[in-house]
Amino acid sequence: MNALRLLCGLVLLAGPLQAQFTSFGKNKVQFAEFAWQKMETPHFDVFFFEEEKELASYAAHMAERQYRDLEVKFAHTVQRRVPLIVYSSHIYFEQTNIIPSLLPEGVAGFTEYLKGRVALPLSGSLPDFERVLHHELVHVFTFDRIAHVLERHGVLDFRPAPLWFTEGLAEYWSSEWSSFGDMILRDALFSRRLYSIAQMEYIYGTFQMYKEGESICHFMAERHGEDVFEQLFANWWRAEKFEEIFQLTTGESLREFDEAWTYSLRKRYLPDIAASDPPAHMAEKRTREGFNIKPSIVPTELDSVAFVYFTNSQGYTQIALQRGEGVPEIVVEGERLPVFESLHALSTKIAVAPDGQRMAFAAKSRGRDHLYVWDIEGGEQVGDFIFDDVVAIASPSFAPEGQRIVFSGARQSGLVDLYVVDLQSGQLEALTRDLYHDRQPDWSPDGRHIAFSSDRFAAGRDGLYNLFLYEVESGRIRHLSQGDHNDQHPAFSPDGLQIAFSSDRDAMFNLYLTQLDSARTGTRRLTRVLTGAFDPQWRSDGSGVLFSGFQGGGFQIYELDIEDADSSEVVWHPIVDAPQQPWSLEGRQGESLYALRPYSSEMTLDIAQSQISQDPEFGTSGGIQLALSDVLGNNRYAFVLSHIAGSRTGFFDGLNVALSRMHLGQQLNWAWGLFRLNDRFSSTFGRFVREKRTGGYLGLSYPFSRHDRVETRLSLRHAEIDRQFEGRRLSGWLANNFVSYTHDSSLWLPTGPLEGRRYSLGIGQTVDFKSSRRFNVTLFGDYRHYFRLSQGTGWAMRYMGRRSTGDVPEFFSLGGSWTLRGYPWRSIWGRNMVLINQELRFPLVDRLVIDFPFGAMDFSAFRGALFVDAGNAWNDDFGEWRGAVGSGVRLALGGVFVFRLDAARRTNFKRLGNQTHWDFFFGWDF
Amino acid sequence: MAFWRWALCALWIGLCGCGGGMFYATGALVKDAPEPPLSLLWQQKMDGAPLGAAVDAAPLLMQMSSAGTLYAFDLRSGERVGKKGFDDKVCGAVQLAGDVLLVGTVGKEAALVAWDRRVQKERWRHAGSFCLTPTVRGDTVFVAAEDGVLRALALAGGEELWRASLETRLRTSPTLDGHYLYVGDGRGVVRALRAVDGDEVWRHQLKAGVRTVPLVHGGTVWVGTATGEVAALNSDDGGLQWETQLGALPSEGMALAGETLVVGAANRGIYGFNAARGDPLWHFETDGVVRSWPVVSERVCYAASSDGRLYALGTKEGNLLWKFRLDGAALQPVMRIGATVVVATEKKMLYAFGRR
C-alpha cells in the first residue's frame, strides 16, 4: 500500500500541471523530531530515541523473554531479526511513518508485514505495554510460522489466517482472560449480538471480534489440547481454507466446533442473569444517542442534575452539557479544529470546578496535550496550560478552592505520574515520580487527600490496579483497597467520607462504595450489573451517582439513587502504607547489557514488481517499479523504469525513467525527483497529448495540523509537446510551480464523507524558462461541506471552480459520476470550469451480503443519494448552465471499492430532459 | 568410477534385488555412534526441506523432500544416484521395506502408496490420510491414520488385515516391539495393542496429547506429551513407573543409551534423564527449538536445533563435545547410518558427517 501510494505520487509529481490539484486527506504531522538509536538484542533491533532509553531497555528485555515464551508455544524459531520500534507516548506513535494510514487512539500497537516491523507506544502502564508487545509478537510468530510451512511445502500463495483467529490467538497467548472479555461476551449474548465464527465478518476488526476470537482460542485449546495451534500451523500447507485445515487437524468441522463454542458461552453466562441486570434495568438512563461516557456533575442551584460528558452522538467526539431532562448542549466541539484535535474520551475525564462555572479537560493540539480550562456558561476557553516535561495529560480534578488541578501526566520517557498545577502561576509540581502508573486522581472535598488508581502494589506487575490515597501535606501514599483485582475511577462523596469506584473484584465491573475511617475502609457493592459500570460521579447532595454503563455494545450514562442500590455486606480492610518499590522490571536504566548503535537510515526493499501489457492503442509496454524505505519509513525512494514498444519509434523514444526521493521525518516534508518520460497519454479532458519531457522537481508540504497544510512544488523540464487535439507542437524549457492550501476535517462512512469540511485553494503557473513566455496561469478552488442530519444521513455540498489563462492554457473537463452526472465522462471541457453539487446521502441497508456462485460478497454499506448538479466548462463563452437531477445507489465493498450507479436527467434549469442517463462507476462520494 | 555409478544406480532401482535395510521405528536405539569431532563428509542440496528422517538403504541413503522428491545418495561419497518425484503431495516420511517404498500422500486421493523401486511402479495404494510414518515387520505394514484408525496391511498387496479405531486424533506413529504395538493419541491415551489382531491389551491416560513416538525397551514405554510431560510406563500393563516435566513440547522422539534417556524440547533444551527412575541427569541449552529427534550412543548424543547447529554431547553428563554450524535450522531427526551421522536443514541441505 505504501509503495502503491508512493508510485502514484511519483507519477503525479512528474506530471503536468493539471495533475497537480491537491488531493484531500488528513495529515500525519511530525511535531516532534527525535534522534533515533538502535539497541541490538539477540533477536530484536529495538529503535528508540534518547528520552525513552529506559523504556527501550525494558522493551528489549520484555521482547526477549516473550520471544522465548512464544518459541515454546509455536515450537518455532523466527529466522530473522525483528525490528521493534517503541514510542513513549501514543502522541508520538501517531507520528509514525511505518504505515501511511492515520492511527486512531484505539490502536495500541501494530505489526507490519512488509518489513516485519512491530511498533507500539507506552500508554502509561508498563505491564500493559508488555501485554501489547506480547500480542504483537504473536503476530510475528504466526506470520513467520505460516510462511515457513508454506515455503517448506512449495506453496507459493500466502494463505493468511482469518483475522478473528490471528487476533484471538494473539490475545489468548498474550494475557489472561479478563473481566473486559467477560463483559463483552456477556453483553453480546444478552443483547443478541453474539456472532458465531461463520458470522465473524459482521464484527470484522472490532474489539468484540478480538474478544470473541480470544474466547474461541480458549475453547479450542480446552477441546483439542493446547498444542492444537502448533498442529494447525503445521498443517497450514495442506488446505487453502481455514475450515479445511481445522477439520484435518482436529477431526471436527468448524461448524460443529462453532456450535459447541456458542453453547459453552450460553452455559457459562446465562446463569448470571439470575443475580444481575443490565444497567438500564437498575438505573435511570440519562443519555440516548451515540456513545456517551465519563459524566461529571455540574453543581447548580436547580433541583435537577446537570452534568457534562463526552459524546459522539454527532460523529465527532464532543463535550456535551445535559441539564435535567433538557436537550443536550454541545459545549466543546472536538476533532474539527487543530485546537481540540482529540479529546481522549476513552482515557481521561472532565473535571468541573466546585463553583460549577468552569471545567477542565485535556485535549491534543499540535503534537502534545494541553490542559484547557473552560467557562461552561460563557462557552469560552479561560485557560490553556502546556508543560515542557509532560507530553500527555489525563483525568484532571480540581482542588476544593478551585485554583489547583491534579492530573496524571506522561513524561517524555512515557512514565505516568501525578502532577498538580497552580492555575494562577502555572507552576507544576510532581507528586509522584516512578515507573508505576498513577491515574484517575480525585481531590477530596477537604483538600487533604487525593485518591487515585495505581499499579503500585505487588499484583500491579500483572496489570492490576488498586486505589491509593495521597496525603497532600505529607506526601505519604497509603494503600486504600487491597486485592488482586482492578479498582478504578475513585470519586469522593461531597462530604468526603466515602469514595465510589468501579471494580471487577467479583468478576464483573461494578460500582462499589468505600467508607473512610482513620485506619480502615469498609467497602460494599453498589451495583450488580450484568455487563459493566464505570466512572461514578456523585450528585451534589450525595444522594446518588451518575456512571457510564455498558450495554448493547455501547456506553450510556445512567443515574442511580444510593438508597436503591444493592446493599451487600460491608467488608473492612485496614489502610496500610503503600509499598515503596512493590515491583521492578528487568532492564532498569544502566542495567541494560545490550549494544547501542546510532540509527542508520539503511534502505531496504518495500516492493519490487514488474509487468508487461499489450494495448491496441499504445502497443506493448513493460516495466519495473521499486520502492525502498528505511525502518522508520521517514526516507523513501521510488524508481520506475518502463518501455513502450511502438512500431514506429526507436528504443529510447519509448523509454520512461523516474526516480523520486521523499523525506517525511520532519514537519516539513520534502521530495525531489528526476524524470525522463516520453508518452502519448490521454489528458484529463480526454484528448491525446504526446509529451517528451526530461527534468526534475522539488516538492514541499508543510502540515500545520492534522487538518491543514500548505504545499508547493517547483519543476523544471525540457518538454516537447504535441497537443494532437489542437494540432500544436511546442518545445522548450518549462518551469512550473504551484502553491496550495488544503483543509480536511471530514468524517467518513464506507461510501464517502458524511460530516465536516474540505477545501483547497491554489494557484500555479508554467513559464518558458528560456524565453520568459508565460504558458499559463491556473487558479483553482474546491469547497465541500457536509452536514450530518442524523446518524447515517447527511447533506453534501460542493462548489468548485478552475480557470487557466495564457498562451497554452490547461483544460478542465466535466461529465460523469464524479462531477456533472447525466453527461458522458469528460464530455464537456474548456479552460474555465465551474461546478456545484448538492446531494442528500442516506442509508438503505446497513449491510448487504450477496451470495454469488464464486462466494459471498459483503457490502459493508448500501446507501442512496438524491442529487442536483450544475456546472459548465467553457473557453470564451459560458453559454448556459448545464445541470442534472437524479438519484443513485452506492455499495461499499471491503472499504476499498465503492460501486456507484446513478440515474440522472439533464436540465438547463428551465426544463427537465426526458431521457434518463445511467452511469455505473467506481469511487467514493465527493 | 563408471562401474560404481552403474552399480549404485542399479541398487537405487533395485535391479540387484537385494533391497535396502529394514527400518523399525523403535526409537533411536543405537549401540555405537562415531566419536566427535566429526568431519563433514559431504553435503547435498535438495529441492525441498527434508520430510522425516533419512532412510538407511545401505550402501545408499534416501531422503524424502517436502517437494515430494525422494533422493538417493551414495552414503560414502554423497553422490546423488537417483531421485524419484511423486505426482501427489507427499505428507510424511518415506519408509523402506525391501523393494517397497511406502509414502503417505494428501490431496483429493490421499493414500498410502507402495512403490516398487525394482520395477519402478506403484504396487498398491490404500486410501486414507497417512502422514505418520508406517512401521513394517516382515510382510505386514502397521500404519496409523490421523483420524485415529490404526491398520495392519499386507506388504505385498496392501490388503487390510485388521483395523483398530482409537476414536481420537493421532499425532505420532506407533512403535512395534515384540508382539505389541504401542501408540499414544491426541487425548493423551497410551495404548498397547496386539500386533496380530489390534486388540487392546492396556491403556494409560496421561495429562495431555502424546507428541513423541513411543520409545520401547526393556519392559518400559517412554512417551512425551504436548505439555512437556515425560512418562515411563510398564510395557506389560501400562502402569506408571515415573513421570517428569520438561516444560515444553518435546522433540518428535526420544533416544536411549544405557541408563540415559535423551529428549529435546521446544524450550531450547536437550535433557538427559535416568531412564529407570526419571531423575534429571543433565540439561543442555541450545539457542533454538529442539524438535529434531536425537541419536544417542553410550558415549555421545547427537542433536540438532533450530539455531542451525548440530551438537555432540556427552551422554552421561550432557557436556558439549563438539558442534557444527549448519546453513539453517534443523528440525528433522538426526540419523546415524553406519559410521555416518546425517542431518538435513530447512535450507534444503543434507549433511553427512563422519570420521575421516
| Gap between the Cα atoms of A838 and B193, Å rounded | 80
- Which residue in A572, A496, A481, A558 sits closest to A527, CA to CA? A558
Q: Sheet holding A428-430: strands in order across?
A: A390-398, A404-411, A416-422, A428-430
- Give me Rg for the CA atoms of chain A: 30
Reference B62, options B335, B347, B345; nearest CA is B335
Please report which confidence band the pLDDT of residue A497 belongs to, taking 50, 70 and 90 as the band edges: very high
Query: Rounded to whole angstroms, what are the CA distances from A160 to A157, A198, A239?
Result: 9, 17, 12
Q: Decide: A447 and A399 in contact? Cβ < 8 Å.
A: yes
User: How far does the CA of residue A268 sit from the closest CA of chain B (Å)?
Assistant: 24
Q: Tell how many helices (H) and how many strands (E) occur in chain A.
A: 11, 52
Which of the two residues, A550 and A646, has the higher pLDDT score? A550
Q: Which residues, at least 6 apart from B87, have a Cβ–Cβ distance to it below 8 Å? A: none
Q: Residues of chain B whose pLDDT is less than 50?
A: 1-8, 10-11, 13-28
For residue A523, the model assigns a pLDDT of: 93
Residue A648: which pLDDT band, with cuts at 50, 70 and 90?
low
Q: Name the minimum distance, in Å, from the CA of A226 to any CA of chain B.
A: 7
pLDDT tens-digit series, residues A283-308: 999 998 889 999 999 998 777 899 99
Closest CA to B29 of B243, B343, B301: B301
State mean pLDDT over A28-55.
94
Say what the pLDDT of residue A759 is: 96
Nearest beta carbon to residue A154 from set B67, B148, B266? B67
pLDDT in tens, A582-623: 999 987 765 567 889 999 989 999 988 888 877 665 667 788
Closest to A73 (Cα-Cα) out of A211, A177, A210, A170: A170
Greater pLDDT, B38 or A570: B38
Asked if the model's pLDDT at residue A80 lies above 50, the reply is: yes
A residues 249-288 closer than 8 Å to B (CB): 249-251
At B107 the pLDDT is 80
Nearest-CA distance from A338 to chain B in Å? 50
pLDDT category at A685 given cuts 50, 70, 90 is low
CB A884 within 8 A of CB A869: yes
Q: What value does the mean pLDDT take over residues A131-144?
A: 98
Q: Is the pLDDT of residue A23 over 60?
A: yes
Q: Which of A77, A226, A249 sits opposite B329 (nearest CB)?
A: A77
**Paired strand residues for B351:** B43, B343
Q: Which residue(s) pair with A511 in the sheet?
A: A502
Report the pLDDT value the prediction gives residue A681, as an integer from 0 to 100.
63
Which of A77, A153, A249 is the closest to B288 by Cβ?
A: A77
Compute the distance between CA of residue B315 and CA of residue A252 in angstroms, rounded to an integer.
42
Query: Mean pLDDT highest for which of A309-318, A700-709, B103-112?
Result: A700-709
Q: Could you tell me which residues are beta bridge partners of residue A671?
A: A662, A699
What is the average pLDDT value for chain A, to the nearest integer? 91
Contact B249 A153 (CB under 8 A): no
Range of weakest confidence among A333-337, A671-675, A792-796, B240-244: A333-337
Average pLDDT over every residue of A34-38: 95
Q: Within a 13 Å sphere around the CA of B338, how many CA atoms are in the beta-carbon half?
A: 15
Average of pLDDT values for A854-861?
A: 74
E strand map for B188-344: 189-194, 200-205, 215-217, 220-224, 229-234, 240-245, 255-257, 260-264, 269-274, 280-285, 295-296, 300-304, 309-314, 320-325, 335-337, 340-344
Alpha carbon separation from A481 to A449, A466, B240 (Å, rounded): 15, 6, 48
Q: Please count the helices (runs of H) and the strands (runs of E) in chain B.
A: 1, 33
Nearest beta carbon to residue A225 from set B208, B247, B268: B208
- For residue B238, report the phi and psi dihedrals to the nearest 5 degrees: 80, 5
Nearest Cα of chain B lies from the Cα of A174 at a distance, in angstroms, of 17
Q: Taking residues A431-450, report their average pLDDT.
A: 97
Average pLDDT over residues A894-909: 89
Q: Residues A388, A390, A395, A397: what is their CA dihedral angle, to the nearest 10 degrees?
A: -50
Identify the closest residue of chain B to A232 by CA–CA distance: B171
CB contact under 8 A, A153 and B208: no
Pairing mode, strands A329-333 and A292-297: unpaired
* Statement: residue A339 has pLDDT above 90: no
The residue length of chain B stands at 356
- Partners of A149 on chain B (C-beta within 8 Å) are none
Matching residue, cell 506453496: A155
Q: Do B187 and A225 touch (CB under 8 A)?
A: yes
**Segment 94-133 of chain B within 8 Å of chain A by CB:** 106, 129
Closest CA to B298 of B343, B257, B333: B257
* B229 in contact with chain A, both atoms CB, cutoff 8 A: no
Strand-pairing partners, residue A845, are A862
- How close does chain A come to B5, measured CA to CA in Å? 31
Amino acid at B216: V
Please state whether the peptide bond connecting residue A753 to the residue before it is cis, i.e. omega within 30 degrees of 0.
no
For residue A487, the tally of other CB atoms under 10 A from its CB is: 26
CB-facing half-sphere around the CA of A703: CA atoms within 13 A? 23
Which residue do the cell numbers 486421493 mark?
A: B109
- How many Å apart are CA A850 and CA B281, to the nearest integer? 64
Neighbours of A774 (CB within 10 A): 14
Q: Which of A592, A497, A494, A486 is nearest to A532 (CA)?
A: A486
| Cell numbers that stand for A222 in this block | 480446552
Q: Which of A712, A783, A226, A778 is closest to B209 using CA atoms?
A: A226
Rounded CA Rg of chain B:
19
Best interface-test mutation with A: which of B263, B306, B309 has the largest number of A CBs within 10 A?
B306
Q: For residues A738-747, give the mean pLDDT.
A: 94
Does residue B78 sit at the A interface (CB-CB below 8 Å)?
no
d(CA A284, CA A302): 19
A354 burial type by CB count under 10 A (0-12 exposed, 13-18 middle, 19+ buried)? middle
Nearest-Cα residue of chain A relative to residue B188? A225
Chain B hits for A154, CB-CB cut-off 8 Å, are 48, 66-67
CA-closest candidate to residue B218, choices B197, B235, B231: B235
Nearest Cβ partner for A72 among B211, B267, B307: B267
Q: Which of A782, A705, A710, A795 is nearest to A752 (CA)?
A: A795
What is the average pLDDT across A274-282?
92
Size of interface A-B (CB pairs under 8 A): 74
Q: Which residues of B touch A245 (CB under 8 A)?
A: none
Question: CA B131, B135, B137 angle in degrees (round to 5)?
Answer: 155
| Inter-chain touch A238–B106, beta carbons under 8 Å | yes
B226 touches chain A (CB under 8 A): yes
Residue A682: pLDDT band with limits 50, 70, 90 = low
Distance in angstroms (rounded) separating the CA atoms of residues A828 and A520: 82
Check CB contact under 8 Å for B169 and A251: yes
Cα nearest neighbour of A221 on chain B: B208
Of the candidate ranges A5-19, A439-453, A646-660, the one whose mean pLDDT is the lowest: A5-19
Q: Does B187 touch chain A (CB under 8 A)?
A: yes
Whether B146 has its CB under 8 Å from any CB of chain A: the answer is: yes
Supply the DSSP string of B133-147, one letter for each residue: PPEEETTEEEEE-TT
- Whether residue A4 is predicted with pLDDT greater than 80 in this model: the reply is no
Q: Do the Cβ atoms of B66 and A154 come within 8 Å?
A: yes
End-to-end CA distance of chain A: 22
What number is the ipTM of this complex? 0.91
The nearest CA of chain A is from the CA of B96 a distance in Å of 22
Interface with B, mutate which of A80, A153, A249 (most B CBs under 10 A): A153
**Model pLDDT, residue B185:** 94
B166 touches chain A (CB under 8 A): no
Q: Fill in the amino acid letter for B317.
A: E
Q: Test B146 with A226 for CB contact under 8 angstroms.
A: no
What part of B 5-44 touches A (C-beta under 8 Å)?
none
CA distance A396 to A874: 59
**CB pair distance less than 8 Å for B226 and A79:** no
